[in-house]
Amino acid sequence: MALELSDKVSPEAKKDIIELENRINKFNAGGIEEDKFKLFRLTRGVYGQRQPGVQMIRIKLPYGKVTTKQLIKIADTSDKYATGNLHLTTRQDIQLHYVKLAESPALWSELEEEGVTLREACGNTVRNVTASPDAGINSSELFDITPYAHALTHYFLRNPVCQDMGRKFKIAFAADDKDSAMTYFHDLGFIPKIKEVDGQAIKGFKVVIGGGLGAQAIPAQTAYQFLDTTQFIPFTEALIRVFDRYGERANRNKARMKFLMKKIGLAQLLKLVEAERKAIKNQTFIVDEKLTQTLIPEQKILPKVEVLDSSEFEDWKRTNVFEQKQQGFYGVWIRVPLGDIQAQTARSLAELVRQCAADDIRVTVNQGLLLRFVRAGALPFLYQSLKELKLAKPGFNSTHDITACPGSDTCNLAVTNSTALTTKLEEMLHADFKQLLDESHIKVKISGCMNACGQHMAANVGFHGSSIKNGALIIPAMQVVIGGGVSPTGEGFIAEKVIKIPTKRIPRALATILNAYEEQYEKGEYFNNFYQRLGKMHFYHLLKPLANVSSLEQSDYMDWGKTESFVPEIGVGECASVMLDVIGTIIEESQERLDWAKDGLDDNAYADSIYNSYSSLVIGAKALLLSEDVKCNTQIGIIESFEEHFGNYSLFVLNNGFKALVLEINKQVPTFEFATSYFNDAQSFLERVRIFRDLQLKEKGGLDKQVITDFYKA
């Protein structure tokens, strides 16, 4: 039975949802290979869980914004299709777990009724654009970056330049120089700046490129100290085009922007970006700053409440409430343990927001929430109401407020359990380190594996899941990393690996580190400066007794929250590339891009049409290279290799060669004339590819060929 879509769903979203449903049906009927289908569903926010037969659904919330209607809709869909839990992530998304694949189109359809999308929430795309959650109300900001994050998000949503890159691409906007968005570990980051030109204040951004966490964490480099706001989207498009063409596609561990920049250098990267500028859709882009203006809520008469514990209330006000730049209003941080909110709690919170705050909730990078435009007189009622919802814990963004990914609860890649350890550590901090409730410059973060979804390499003290062998037995362990995060002045640090310790001893390890700091720090000394002053080996020897496995108890062989002995069960990551392919299916992918190019021509979207024609050319060339076992790992490699191996065949003798034909894309302005001629060239080339492939098949008895396609993601 076909899915019925509400009139509230946009035409673009309807097309996406119908396509997802059709692909699911085709996959279930055996018409699509599993890995091919995986690549498709990931770009639609459907991510396989550790548990077979169910999916995690990732909801894309640009810069973390969610309205009360959207929050209620997400809660309702979680009750209907998932577990009734909403999980807030470090990418300012919301995830739902244990969703049946067949029900994912219906779930998506219901979310789109309130303008909530899954499109490009996962996969090799431009991921959710993150931003400082206090943007727009931050008293230190030069201007509100929210409309710029909003504009960039929608500019690249469904944009052909970023639908199937070699790897994901992450972008962040900071509100000010303190860099609460942690731009320094993103592929691309923007920090607001203002420059005086002829007595006029011009808005712009400091631009940083090539940061990243994971197994090889690298801080971003500064590309521009000042880039005019009218240029930030054209620059981003040109940069993504270069990443798509020159980025690694065979080895996914080397396929991020940071590795491309390391390979060719910042200067050469910017040179390639500049060469690409002529071909992009807009040479300038002016953002309408009214796009995202928050409506100040009307003052409402609230019930009078008596705060029963004035001490707790003061702790909460001191650590979770701040004055906005708008006089008379306050921002209120909500600490959400493990980032998990039950659906009914979310609905109650939405109703509370309607009473006390603006209809603009922001998910934070440490898995919490921010309410905006709360009046001083509403604070007692808000606090008491949050307390009833178990959402009034003080110490937001403090040492007590630990960030953690879901770990082995649901993730295929996780080695150990992050959530149970987090709960144990927070209990220990509450009991033994109450004074750190106000400490906002020692952050603790946990990931279930080295891939850093919990952002452990950006923590002052971080842990990632691992294991230790003890004879024939295996002990669940955590790699301890120290010295990451953002300093009070906005300097970004990458943590260093120090030592691996059995996970059951991690509470003692954290306590040892914190005690050492409290006993030995110099007045006013930032934790990372303290760590650097004493040095990595000091902390290695400090923690080494806890790494000794000669005297273990039976419980040490069990992970936190488990009752059986530890067995590492690491699955295949959902971002892994396709393993098997057939030449014929690759040729059909080329045809699909050509069809999209024709749609672009019909819609007068010339730049989009041109890029799809370009993709068709590259994919068609890839098909024939694979048929001859020629391996390349970048799009530019495919272009050059095709000319080398097929340029002398009569079918492919072109006036200036295949490379010159394809790279006309960055030599021409995207006009109707060029879009049409380029489409015709791509169409002609694909016809020749089909003729050549038919001749190959006749020579080989008609059998199509399976190939390993880790060498290509083009």
How do residues 521-537 score in pLDDT, each as one tens digit?
999 999 999 999 999 99
Residue 165 and residue 125: Cα distance in Å, rounded? 6
> Is the pTM value of this prediction over 0.85?
yes
Helix (H), strand (E), coil (C) string for 451-519:
CCCCCHHHCCEEEEEEEEEECCEEEEEEEEEECCEECCCCCEECCEEEEEEEHHHHHHHHHHHHHHHHH
Confidence (pLDDT) at 247:
94
How far from 284 is each of 188, 206, 306, CA to CA, in Å? 19, 17, 55
Q: Which of 166, 119, 269, 241 is nearest to 614 (CA)?
A: 241
Q: 78, 84 in Cβ contact below 8 A?
A: yes
User: Could you report the per-residue pLDDT of 566-619, keeping only the tens digit for each?
Assistant: 776 655 555 543 334 578 888 999 999 999 999 999 999 999 999 999 999 999
Question: How far is C-alpha 216 from the geometric centre of its chain's CA atoms?
Answer: 17
Could you tell me which residues come within 8 angstroms of residue 345 by beta carbon, excluding any fewer than 6 positions away? 389, 390, 391
Q: Which region, left, alpha or beta, applies to residue 497 given φ > 0 means left and ψ of -120 to 50 means alpha?
A: beta
- pLDDT at position 569 is 63
Count Cβ atoms within 10 A of the Cβ of residue 266 and give its class: 0-12 exposed, 13-18 middle, 19 or more buried: middle
The alpha carbon of 541 is separated from its chain's Cα centroid by a whole number of angstroms, namely 36
Q: Which residue has the tokens 């219901």?
A: 110
pLDDT for the residue 580: 42
Identity of the residue numbered 24: I
All residue ranges of the chain with pLDDT < 50 are: 576-580, 708-714
Residue 376 near residue 299, CB atoms below 8 Å: no
By the 8 A CB rule, do 495 and 476 touch?
Answer: no
CB-based contact 180:492 (threshold 8 Å): no
Of 99, 130, 102, residue with least CA distance to 28: 102
pLDDT of residue 712: 42
- What pLDDT does 50 receive? 87
- Ordered by where they begin, the domains of the chain are 11-112 (3.90.480.20), 130-279 (3.30.413.10), 310-388 (3.30.70.3340), 403-557 (3.30.413.10), 580-708 (1.20.120.330)
Buried b (16+ CB within 10 A) or exposed e, 89-121: bbbbbbbbbbbebebbbbbbbbbbbbebbbbbb
